[in-house]
Amino acid sequence: QLQLQESGPGLVKPSETLSLTCTVSGGSISRSGHYWGWIRQSPGKGLEWIGSIYYSGSTYYNPSLKSRVTISVDTSKNQFSLKLSSVTAADTTVYYCARHEQYQLLTHFDYWGQGILVTVSS
């Protein structure tokens, strides 16, 4: 059974860079055909896609966050990571990592991590 687990600091100062890692177990991150994504959710609010990465390293990002987001993958560690720069209080949310299936007319996230709350505060 594929499992994903987010890790990283739960508190980040304003203007700094948020860094999170997602560790994948129960399967290989480099299996062809899968993207790996980050999604966030403000308390009491809806889901927002941040971006996704293919095992080869190709990425695509939410246009509203693109200027601040970098997603990378380390297949040797079976991990992928998120960096979000110049954070503000508006970036205080729960961050989820998930396996992202995207092909032909479909896009969906079928395995999710439990989520990690990141608070931006001085």
Partner 1 sequence: SSELTQDPAISVALGQTVKITCQGDSLSSYYASWYQQKPGQAPILVKYGKNSRPSGIPDRFSGSSSGNTASLTITGAQAEDEADYYCNSRDSSGMNVVFGGGTKLTVL
Positions touching partner 1 (CB under 8 A) are 37, 39, 46-49, 52, 60, 62-63, 96, 100-102, 105-110, 112-115
Query: 7, 20 in Cβ contact below 8 A?
Result: yes
Instruction: List the structure tokens of 94.
Output: 């729960």
Of the pair 16, 55, the CB lying nearest partner 1 is at: 55
Of the pair 12, 39, the CB lying nearest partner 1 is at: 39
What is the number of alpha carbons within 13 Å of residue 31 lying toward its C-beta? 12
Shortest distance (Å) from residue 33 CB to partner 1: 15
Shortest distance (Å) from residue 14 CB to partner 1: 25
CA 35 vs. chain centroid, Å, equals: 11
Query: What DSSP designation does 16 have?
Result: S
Of the pair 12, 113, the CB lying nearest partner 1 is at: 113
